């Protein structure tokens, strides 16, 4: 297990290294050099200021030296400075990270658990009405733009029915504390988590259904049935454990898309996470923040991947033996 983990960590380090280089190249490929961009962001673009910035950030030195400086800064946790917000990018990101992690983790759990359950339910009832209903709903959710689902949910549950808050993280000025505050936050979470979770639930439902159907036709399932095992035991012990494997693989790969989706969902619900920060940075063309978001979301994706890899080993003991 230790060797397996070390192997995964090394892989993660490579991915992050490439992301850092990509970030560096992107900021240099941008129209106008970084000093002009920074001067523009700081709101003063006269030549002397630009030259001063160029010297201060070592932009007059060769490219590979600059890359070295850039990497060493990142290793020290320095992700640059946002002139628009007058704060270090790392601080801005750290402020917003918890809200995004809470949102994406909840949505991920909902999508995975719901998707596997619904997919299995459809596979067990293949050809019957439950299967058709689940398939159609999954097909529709899979085709819907995530931000639009969020807006429509707000329209129904906040504007028309008035059941749930339409935006924010908690009620401002309500003065809730302790358990009441947790409940308040939970109420605010329902719509964003449902919006983000539904789309990916559709993906996992479709995958689980297909893979459960494939597993169901295999010999060991027939054997279990011939031995007279109960249908419930066959589905949970034999079909589910095997059918879940490809779903976990895809879930790990899609973690990146889930986090991308959270940008849209946070924009719709004014959720105070990285997504909101990204939206504001887009409006203000705050490149340093955008590149920081790209780096931090990559870190998140890599972490998600390690978690799903470990889950995979736990569910399927054969994997480790094969390594």
**Residue numbers of the site for other proteins (CB under 8 A)?**
14-15, 18-19, 22, 26-27, 29-31, 139-140, 142-148, 151-152, 154-155, 159, 213, 217, 253, 256-257, 259-261, 263-264, 267-268, 278-279, 281-283, 285, 287, 290-291, 293-294, 297-298, 300-302, 305
Task: Name 151's Cβ contacts closer than 8 Å, sequence gap at least 6.
Answer: 268
* Torsion angle (degrees, nearest 10) of CA 48, 49, 52, 54: -110
CA-only gyration radius of the chain, Å: 24
Q: How far is the CB of 194 from other proteins (least distance, A)?
A: 17
In this structure, are residues 38 and 82 in contact, taking their beta carbons and an 8 Å threshold? no
* Torsion angle (degrees, nearest 10) of CA 246, 196, 256, 89: -160
Q: How far is the CB of 180 from other proteins (least distance, A)?
A: 27
Q: How far is the CB of 163 from other proteins (least distance, A)?
A: 15
Nearer to other proteins, 181 or 306 (CB): 306
In this structure, are residues 274 and 96 in contact, taking their beta carbons and an 8 Å threshold? yes
Token pair listed for 310: 């470990």
Nearer to other proteins, 32 or 179 (CB): 32
Q: How far is the CB of 198 from other proteins (least distance, A)?
A: 13
- HSE-CB of 2 using CA atoms within 13 angstroms: 0
Q: Provide the 3-class DSSP secondary structure of residue 46.
A: coil
Q: How far is the CB of 139 from other proteins (least distance, A)?
A: 7
Nearer to other proteins, 26 or 174 (CB): 26
Sign of CA dihedral 221, 225, 227, 230: positive
Nearer to other proteins, 19 or 235 (CB): 19
Q: Provide the 3-class DSSP secondary structure of residue 65.
A: helix
Nearer to other proteins, 45 or 126 (CB): 126
Q: How far is the CB of 7 from other proteins (least distance, A)?
A: 14
Nearer to other proteins, 181 or 210 (CB): 210
């Amino acid at each position: 297990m230790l060797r397996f983990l070390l192997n995964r960590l090394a892989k993660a380090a490579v991915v992050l290294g490439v992301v850092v280089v990509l970030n560096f190249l992107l900021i240099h490929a941008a129209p106008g050099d970084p000093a002009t961009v920074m001067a523009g962001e700081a709101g003063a673009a006269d030549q002397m200021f630009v030259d001063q910035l160029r010297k201060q950030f070592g932009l007059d030195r060769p490219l590979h030296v600059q890359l070295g400086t850039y990497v060493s800064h990142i290793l020290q946790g320095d992700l640059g400075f946002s002139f628009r917000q007058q704060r270090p990018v790392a601080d801005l990101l750290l402020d917003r990270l918890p809200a995004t992690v809470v949102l994406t983790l909840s949505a991920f759990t909902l999508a995975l658990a719901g998707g596997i359950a619904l997919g299995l339910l459809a596979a067990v009832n293949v050809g019957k009405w439950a299967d058709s209903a689940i398939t159609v709903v999954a097909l529709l959710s899979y085709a819907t733009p995530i931000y639009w689902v969020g807006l429509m949910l707000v329209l129904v549950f906040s504007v028309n029915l008035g059941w749930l808050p339409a935006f924010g993280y908690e009620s401002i000025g309500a003065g809730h504390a302790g358990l009441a505050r947790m409940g308040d936050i939970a109420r605010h979470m329902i719509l964003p988590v449902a919006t983000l979770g539904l789309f990916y639930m559709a993906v996992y439902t479709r995958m689980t259904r297909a893979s459960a159907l494939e597993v169901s036709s295999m010999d060991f399932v027939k054997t279990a049935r011939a031995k007279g095992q109960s249908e419930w035991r066959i589905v949970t012990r034999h079909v589910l454990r095997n059918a879940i494997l490809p779903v976990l693989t895809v879930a790990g790969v899609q973690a990146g898309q889930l986090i991308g989706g959270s940008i849209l969902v946070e924009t719709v619900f004014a959720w105070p996470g990285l997504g909101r920060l990204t939206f504001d940075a887009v409006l203000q063309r705050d490149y340093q923040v955008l590149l920081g978001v790209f780096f931090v979301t990559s870190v998140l994706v890599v972490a998600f991947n390690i978690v799903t890899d470990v889950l995979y080993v736990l569910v399927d003991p054969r994997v480790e033996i094969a390594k």
